[in-house]
Amino acid sequence: MFSHLINDLTASIVVFLVAMPLCMGIAIASGVPPEKGLITGLIGGMVVGIFAGSPLQVSGPAAGLAVIVFEFVRDYGMSALGPMLVLAGAIQLVAGMLRLGALFRSISPAVVHGMLAGIGALIVLGQFHILFDAKPLSNGLANLSAMPARVLGLSATDWKADELALMLGLITIGVMLAWEKLRPAKLALVPGALLGVTAATVVASFAGLQVARITVPESLVAAFGVPDAGFFGPLGNPAIITAAIAVAFIASAETLLSAAAVDRMHDGVRTNYNKELWAQGVGNMLCGLAGALPMTGVIVRSSANVQAGAKTRLSTILHGVWILGFVALLPWLLREVPMAALGGVLVVTGWRLVSVKHVTHLFHTHGPIPAVIWAATFILVVSTDLLTGVLVGLALSLIEVIPHGKRVALKVEERQHEDTHHVTLKGAATFVTLTSLTAKLERVPYDLKVHLDLHEVHGMDHTTAEMLSEWIKQRRRAGSPTLISGPENLTRPLPA
């Protein structure tokens, strides 16, 4: 671990700078104090970082769970969040021990990205009101309907808290977007979110602006919850158990999809999905006991980690140490940060989750059905709730299996001829058999050429096509020649 100490040390500092504003901003978007997000960040680094099955993935509070936590805290209170999260973590732990990690990779990408887009839209709608030093309303549609009144209530001549807070939020957003477009190559790893929050904080402090600022306890120890005798009492409510199952499912799916994305960014150790799942379970159980936010593997921080040159899990662990040190030694500095600045960070973060590019890719590559699944999931997440949107999206995914009727079996035949490993698929290549197919393909050695024969495949859904595309790209990046043959309608969505 220590052979790459300098690489990991510098990468950990970059990840720490990226994580700090996001940990606090996601906590505020979740309706809890900002220090709760920081606790999740340091547990994600110092605990999950040690055991994670994806060494370069960084765990912490995720925007993808902000909406469900906000609604949960609103309906059941902070006292129920801890036991719910302990149960969610226990579900993840058991799932990992039962080796169910790979199953989450069979979830339709259209459902996952539709869910994330819906969450992103809800974050934007909610954090829009934070830009005015106001609290978000009860749901996405209520936030949307209140936006015109919020804007029309501004005064161009009489600047009070609303106008000043909006100015600081816009400064944050402006600096983040400008830095993304104009930053010099030598400073590419400096996070725009940090610069945006710093700029807004400096303006607010030097101008003495009377706007809402974040609150941080005098001692970090005071931010940790301590379970009492009635800690698990709320679990007698079936609705809280349902929420725990939903959090476990969504957190696991986001974590393992993020881990798969991280694997595509480097040529080092591949992810052990079952180990990653149970490590996340341990982390979420600890977060529940500490009264913090749920965690997932987070692609923004993880990609920063890889791009900064991290080589081992030491970088992830150290970023948690830096969070602990900063909060313990400089809490007064955090208290200078305007709430509107963190709202600006979350508006940009949420907007980036609404990836129209992904749904157009689905439509042009795989046809209208995946695009419809994405749109239905997105609309229902925004208009109803997260669980309804995901369940309907998963149900719609079955449409791609219906044409195959009872012929959903897939046979994988492997043989080696000279220096080429031949893989022949026979049957229906759908998400139903994706777990076993993925396991077999990932065991193919990288020092051999591969010929993937699809001539006897009578149908393929977009979930399998997306997985095969990533597998082919990954092998080719590693220098392993990979040939695909089969009917044009099956090979067209795959890399040429």
119: confidence class by pLDDT, cuts 50, 70, 90: confident
Whether residue 450 is predicted with pLDDT greater than 90 in this model: the reply is yes
Whether residue 4 is predicted with pLDDT greater than 80 in this model: the reply is no
Count Cβ atoms below 10 Å from residue 109 Cβ, excluding itself: 23
Q: Which residues pair with 297 in a beta bridge?
A: 59
Whether residue 454 is predicted with pLDDT greater than 60 in this model: the reply is yes
Q: What's the whole-number mean pLDDT along residues 246-254?
A: 90
Count Cβ atoms below 10 Å from residue 146 Cβ, excluding itself: 16
What are the tens digits of pLDDT across the range 264-307?
A: 777 778 889 999 999 999 999 999 999 999 999 988 888 888 88
Amino acid identity of 446? Y
Would you list the DSSP string of 34-53? Answer: HHHHHHHHHHIIIIIHHH-S
CATH class of 406-491: alpha beta
**Average pLDDT, rounded, for the chain:** 89
What are the tens digits of pLDDT across the range 48-59?
A: 999 999 999 999
Q: What is the pLDDT of residue 307?
A: 81
Q: What is the pLDDT of residue 392?
A: 93
Q: What's the whole-number mean pLDDT along residues 347-370?
A: 88
Q: What is the pLDDT of residue 271?
A: 87
Q: What is the pLDDT of residue 2?
A: 59
Whether residue 184 is predicted with pLDDT greater than 60 in this model: the reply is yes
| CA–CA gap between residue 255 and residue 144 (Å, rounded) | 29
CA-closest candidate to residue 323, choices 240, 185, 220, 470: 220
Whether residue 102 is predicted with pLDDT greater than 90 in this model: the reply is no
Q: What is the pLDDT of residue 164?
A: 93
334: confidence class by pLDDT, cuts 50, 70, 90: confident
HEC sequence for 76-116 = HCHHHHHHHHHHHHHHHHHHHHCCCHHHHHHCCHHHHHHHH
| CA–CA gap between residue 194 and residue 180 (Å, rounded) | 12
Whether residue 374 is predicted with pLDDT greater than 80 in this model: the reply is yes
Give the max Cα distance, the chain: 80
User: Which two tokens mark 301?
Assistant: 């921080």
CA-closest candidate to residue 242, choices 350, 55, 387, 71: 387
Indicate the SS3 state at residue 59: strand
Q: What is the pLDDT of residue 63?
A: 80
Would you list the DSSP string of 403-427? Answer: GGTT---EEEEEEEETTEEEEEEEE
Task: Answer whether 0.85 is exceeded by the pTM.
Answer: no
Domain boundaries, the chain: 2-339, 406-491
What are the tens digits of pLDDT across the range 389-423?
A: 888 998 999 888 888 767 788 999 999 888 899 99
Q: What is the pLDDT of residue 475?
A: 87
84: which residues sit within 8 A by CB, 6+ positions away? 72, 76, 234, 235, 240, 243, 244, 247, 288
Q: What's the whole-number mean pLDDT along residues 164-171?
A: 95
Amino acid identity of 106? S
